[in-house]
């Protein structure tokens, strides 16, 4: 196991490694990724970059496919 | 910016890696492109050369990765193909920057994605794909002590349940919609595939203690902000499970966007290939799941054949292609064994969301007569996934043909698309081809 570190998901902190995807971190933090057109909470579905349900704002960048993105120290992830 | 290669391979799963390695070993300049962070595709997702060799298929990954690493093949990871510009030229996007890549031969190995079917509650957080949950676990999701129901259809459900259990999850049950009679037919077929039998037995042993129930399917998922319960039926009675995750997937559908964009002929839902994996478009070969869902062995063999052919070694390609028939036959039998039962068409309530990107409900789609009409009138399939999820669903629910593509075939930045030489044409055609 590689060294672990903390990232921030919305207002909570979650311990991850550099091999954890941001989508997995969001799920472990109990956060949903985006709010749909009609206001439903959505979380990862396909896990492989196709469904786009895991889009969230990462370090200020919007619409990031979090399942295709690895965690990095001091990362800040926000539901969109 | 543009680059020129002898061979461009799109998709770095088993089929893509095998073709790239062989073409590069033969001395060709090869570029291997993949949307993911590194090679491996879905079956080898997250594997590394130092991975535990006990993990299923790790040996093949290590061997092929080593072969590829020993060549001068250029690997472009995190790269999406977005358009086909001119003969033998693709436009790709990496980190928001676009560039054009030209080839003498193109090998498409874009693989498959999971098929999802809508049912009440399927958009709740906690309901994931079956392969989807497996992929998330491979990328660090902790599921220890989590209660999981695995449901849907296909041979992957067993492997997925085994993987979840190894990761510490409490797999409550596997529900396979296909009836036992069809699966018995399939297991008879497996007798001619010794490798598959060993794999099957391996999973069966691992799964001891997890109920595997055929002829059953999930009818709804319940919960307010997260899944708490699923309802299951065998067509006669219904029962529920309290659970944390529902991993629900209905076998696989091929990723045909790129072959379609290039104009490759399709037959029975897959790219039609002649000997040596060649599609109907000159200089374009297709390998792996896009020619039929047959798994690792088929993909590797087809990749090798296309690689040798690209390298001009026709004899070698011909020799290997003699073994192909058996795998293609197996792919066909898988499709038959895991064909979807008609009851699955009746799960949606009027308000059940079908298109998740645009939140289009089942009732809105019932008023439409075609995929094209649904796109124009409801925006179904017009969202970020570009119909990749709802397209195969509406094909099953309404018998619509959703296979049509327009560039960009992947969400791309405006600047990447704006450089298209025929932007004006694109604008005028939009209404006719949606």
Per-residue confidence (pLDDT) for residue B194, from 0 to 100: 52
Last residue of a domain, one of B299, B334, B369: B334
Which residues, in sequence order, are bridge partners of residue B152? B176, B249
Task: Give yes or no: residues B15 and B36 share one domain.
Answer: yes
pLDDT digits 0-9 by tens, A36-65: 999 999 999 999 999 999 999 999 999 999
At CB < 8 A and 24+ separation, what contacts does B418-425 make?
Answer: B419/B91, B419/B98, B420/B83, B420/B85, B420/B91, B421/B85, B421/B86
**CB neighbours of residue B100 within 10 Å:** 16
User: Per-10-residue mean pLDDT for chain B, 434 residues long?
Assistant: 92 97 98 91 78 75 93 95 92 90 97 97 98 95 98 92 94 94 74 58 67 94 97 98 98 95 94 95 97 94 98 96 91 92 98 97 96 94 94 95 72 66 38 32
Mutation site for B-interface testing, chosen from A50, A64, A68 by largest number of B Cβ within 10 Å: A50
Q: Which helix (H) or strand (E) holds B67?
A: helix B58-69
The residues on B that touch A, with CB distances below 8 Å, are 35-37, 42, 45-46, 78, 113-114, 116, 123, 125-129, 131-137, 139-142, 225-226, 353, 356-359, 383-385, 388-389, 411
Q: What are the C-alpha distances in Å from B310 to residues B155, B217, B298, B299?
A: 32, 45, 18, 16
Structural domain range at position A32: 4-78
ipTM of the complex, rounded to two decimals:
0.97
Do B408 and B396 fall within a single domain?
yes
pLDDT at B434: 30
Task: Say yes or no: B242 and B140 in one domain.
Answer: yes
| d(C-alpha B36, C-alpha B257), whole Å | 17
Is the same domain home to B91 and B240?
no
% pLDDT > 90, chain A: 96
Residues B230, B149 share a domain:
yes
CA-closest candidate to residue B284, choices B14, B4, B9:
B9
Domain count, chain B: 3
- Say yes or no: B259 and B270 in one domain: yes
- B296 and B57 in contact (C-beta within 8 Å)? yes
Domain closes at, from B290, B315, B334: B334
- Domain span at residue B369 reads 342-433
Number of structural domains found in chain A: 1
Q: Which of B79, B57, B71 is nearest to B3 (CA)?
A: B79
Say yes or no for a CB contact (<8 Å) between A44 and B383.
Answer: no
Residues B191 and B329 sit within 8 Å (Cβ to Cβ): no
CATH at A34:
3.10.20.740
A52 → closest Cβ in B127, B133, B357: B357
CATH number reported for the structural domain that contains residue B73 in this entry: 3.50.50.60
Q: Are residues B309 and B402 in the same domain?
A: no
Chain A residues within an 8 Å CB radius of B128: 43-47
Same domain for B308 and B349, yes or no, is no
Predicted pLDDT of residue B433:
34
Same domain, B19 and B50: yes
Say if residue A28's pLDDT is above 70: yes
Which residue in A has a C-alpha nearest to residue B117's C-alpha?
A45
B241 and B280, same domain (yes or no) = no
Is there a single domain that holds both residue B236 and residue B264?
Answer: no
Whether residues B72 and B152 share a domain: the answer is no
> At which of B334, B356, B376 does a domain end?
B334
């Amino acid at each position: 196991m590689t060294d672990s570190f903390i990232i921030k998901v919305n207002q909570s902190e979650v311990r991850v490694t550099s091999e954890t995807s941001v989508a997995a971190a969001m799920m472990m933090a109990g956060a949903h990724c985006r709010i749909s057109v009609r206001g439903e909470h959505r979380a990862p579905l396909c896990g492989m970059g196709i469904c786009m349900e895991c889009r969230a704002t990462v370090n200020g960048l919007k619409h990031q496919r979090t399942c295709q993105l690895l965690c990095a120290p001091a990362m800040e992830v926000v539901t969109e | 910016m543009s680059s020129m290669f002898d061979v461009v391979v799109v998709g770095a799963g088993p089929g893509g890696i095998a073709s790239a390695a062989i073409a590069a070993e033969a001395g060709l300049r090869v570029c291997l492109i993949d949307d993911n962070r590194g090679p491996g595709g879905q079956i080898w997702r997250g594997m590394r050369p130092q991975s535990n060799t006990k993990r299923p298929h790790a040996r093949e990954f290590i061997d092929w990765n080593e072969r590829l690493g020993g060549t001068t093949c250029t690997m472009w990871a995190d790269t999406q193909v977005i358009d086909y510009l001119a003969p033998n030229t693709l436009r790709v996007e990496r980190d928001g920057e676009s560039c054009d890549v030209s080839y003498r031969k193109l090998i498409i190995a874009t693989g498959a994605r999971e098929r999802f079917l809508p049912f009440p509650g399927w958009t709740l957080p906690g309901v994931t794909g079956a392969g989807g949950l497996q992929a998330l676990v491979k990328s660090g999701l902790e599921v220890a002590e989590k209660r999981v129901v695995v449901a849907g259809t296909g041979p992957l459900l067993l492997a997925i349940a085994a993987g979840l259990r190894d990761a510490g999850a409490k797999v409550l049950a596997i529900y396979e919609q296909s009836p036992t009679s069809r699966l018995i037919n399939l297991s008879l077929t497996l007798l001619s595939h010794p490798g598959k039998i060993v794999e099957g037995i391996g999973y069966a042993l691992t799964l001891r203690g997890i109920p595997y129930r055929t002829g059953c399917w999930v009818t709804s998922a319940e919960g307010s902000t997260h899944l708490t319960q699923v309802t299951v039926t065998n067509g006669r009675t219904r029962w529920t499970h309290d659970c944390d995750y529902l991993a629900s997937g209905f076998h696989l559908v091929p990723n045909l966007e790129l072959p379609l964009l290039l104009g490759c002929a399709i037959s029975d839902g897959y790219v039609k290939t002649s000997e040596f994996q060649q599609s109907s478009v000159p200089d374009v070969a297709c390998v792996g799941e896009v020619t039929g869902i047959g798994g690792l062995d088929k993909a590797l063999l087809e990749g090798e054949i296309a690689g040798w052919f690209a390298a001009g070694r026709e004899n070698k390609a011909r020799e290997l292609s003699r073994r192909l028939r058996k795998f293609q036959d197996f792919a066909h039998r898988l499709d038959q064994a895991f064909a979807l039962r008609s009851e699955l068409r009746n799960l949606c309530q009027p308000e059940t969301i079908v298109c998740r990107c645009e939140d289009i409900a089942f009732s809105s789609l019932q008023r439409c007569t075609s995929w094209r009409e649904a796109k124009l009138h409801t925006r179904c399939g017009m969202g970020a996934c570009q119909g990749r999820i709802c397209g195969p669903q509406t094909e099953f629910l309404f018998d619509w043909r959703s296979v049509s593509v327009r560039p960009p075939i992947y969400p791309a930045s405006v600047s990447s698309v704006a450089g298209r030489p025929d932007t004006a044409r694109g604008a005028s055609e939009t209404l006719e081809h949606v």
